[in-house]
Amino acid sequence: MAGRAVRILSVASECAPLVKTGGLADVAGALPGALAAEGVEMVTLLPGYPAVLSALAGAEAVHEERDLMGGPARVLRGEAAGLKLLVLDAPHLYDRDGSIYLGPDGHDWPDNPERFAALCWVAAALAGDYDAVHCHDWQAGLVPYYLRDKPTPTILTIHNIAFHGLAPPERIGALRLVPSDFNPEGFEFWGKVSALKAGLVWADKLTTVSPTYAEELMRPEFGMGMEGMMRARAGDLSGILNGIDEGVWSPATDPHIAPYKTPRGKARNKAALREELGLPDSGGPLCVVISRLTGQKGMDLLLESLPALLSRGGQLALLGSGEPAIQEAFQDLSAQPGVAVRIGYDEALSHRLIAGGDAILVPSRFEPCGLTQLYGLRYRTIPVVALTGGLADTVINASPAALARRVATGLQFYPVTATALGNALSRLCDLWEAPEIWADLQKNAMSHPVGWENSAKAYASLYFSLRH
């Protein structure tokens, strides 16, 4: 694109590889590098969690706040993991044990509204040095509001509209909001302050992480109460697919797995994975799951439909944690010889699961984009996915027509029920038992584009369109 580089301030609550709880971190970490080739210089503003501060190199203070939501703070500029960073060093907000969102008791930090409002406030203070501010999810949702009377344009990306960033109206003053904007046309949502809604109302442009999810957000079953707002902003909304970092997720160079430069690498990794997890050889496909164990992710449906896989000699290897009842049910299942369950999260094991599995299961009731099916495609691990959101946009269903044209990359099922998932698992076993068809699926999967190139061009075009 012609002209000088566009300078973008990206505001996110997490960023891989520094701090990560989900796909948002992967996107925030991968975008700056992907955009550099498109003439975009991106600097990422993050909260000063201990892990971020310890990784920051060449730090210098560039901004100070005497009283930022309850204490002094400063902004440090530096680099880490190849990223240009601004880090909000505010110990009263971020220097604490527990996860970045949850305390040791497993519940949200009570001051989460202030913790992320502070991030937004500082972003607004720094915005004048940039051509636009790219805000990610509710944690950055107040940036467009704080900039409502300033010239710097804003883009809000919705990674998951289920999370609204709610606070009681008694905290309007503490969050530095104007009380008269607490109304249905403003940041009010069913009697509460919604940071996400503030972003939806005041951002110049809205994006979400797949074209299908952009359409779904305008429907009551997916909009989570925001569908009216999404319909009103339809002209400003675009769906841009997420990609994956192909340097991190590369079968040929992945440090977590055995060499994988030929199809035989899949067989070696499968054998190693079975040995690690204590799974015997079997006559069916080894299916893997890497997921939060929640109803949204369809894990209850998997529990109900699993006999369709196990009865055909298939196996399940699962890594995740989540709702206690679902988690305990999978732990109970692990007593069966064809099931292995690991509770928690292990980045290295996730690579070995995807490298060694024959198929990856993503039965989500809704899924804005999803990344694990993209990892599966990259590693010849056939995705079995619900027909929703980004899963619909990234997997070519093995229909008779797609198989005849030799373009299928996986299996989709609809409606999102246990019966339909069970039928898909049976169909998976049928395909597994047809070696030539299975080899075609694997070849197609590995050649399917999963990187950031096309999406980076779409984001760059949006940024350039907003430049004054």
pLDDT digits (tens, 9 = 90+) for 84-133: 999 999 999 999 988 899 998 889 999 999 999 999 999 999 999 999 99
Per-residue model confidence (pLDDT) at position 2: 47
Max Cα–Cα distance, the chain, nearest Å: 68
- Entry pTM: 0.92
Asked if the model's pLDDT at residue 1 lies above 50, the reply is no
Picking from 138-147, 187-196, 256-265, 275-284, which range would have the lowest pLDDT averaged per residue? 256-265
The β-bridge partners of 19 are 15
Residue 22 confidence (pLDDT): 84
The CATH number of domain 264-447 is 3.40.50.2000:
yes
Mean pLDDT over 382-410 rounds to: 98
The CA-CA-CA angle for residues 116, 140, 162, to 5°, reads 95
Q: Write out pLDDT tens, residues 269-304.
A: 999 999 999 999 999 999 999 999 999 999 999 999
The pLDDT tens digits for 342-366 are 999 898 999 999 999 999 999 999 9
Alpha-carbon distance of 278 to 275, in angstroms, equals 5
Does residue 379 have a pLDDT over 80?
A: yes
What was the pLDDT predicted at 73? 98
pLDDT tens profile 206-238: 999 999 999 999 999 999 999 999 999 999 999
Of the chain, the percentage scoring pLDDT greater than 70 comes to 99
Q: For residues 338 and 306, what is the distance between their CA atoms, to the nearest angstrom? A: 11
Domain ranges of the chain: 6-243+453-466, 264-447
Structure tokens at 73: 């703070």
416-453 pLDDT, tens digit per residue, is 999 999 999 999 999 999 999 999 999 999 999 999 99
Cross-strand partners of 239: 208
| CA separation for the pair 37, 32 (Å, rounded) | 9
Distance CA 188, CA 172 (A): 10
How does residue 265 score in pLDDT terms, banded at 50, 70 and 90? confident
Where residue 259 falls among pLDDT bands split at 50, 70, 90? confident
457 is known to lie in a ligand binding site: no
Identify any residues that bridge with 237 across adjacent strands, giving them in sequence order: 206
Q: What is the pLDDT, as a whole number, of residue 263?
A: 63
Q: Confirm whether 6-243+453-466 and 264-447 share one CATH topology.
A: yes
Residue 459 has pLDDT above 90, yes or no: yes
pLDDT value at position 98? 81
**Token pair belonging to 364:** 């989500």
CATH homologous superfamily, domain 6-243+453-466: Glycogen Phosphorylase B; (3.40.50.2000)
Q: Which two tokens stand for residue 350?
A: 């996730």
23 has a pLDDT exceeding 50: yes
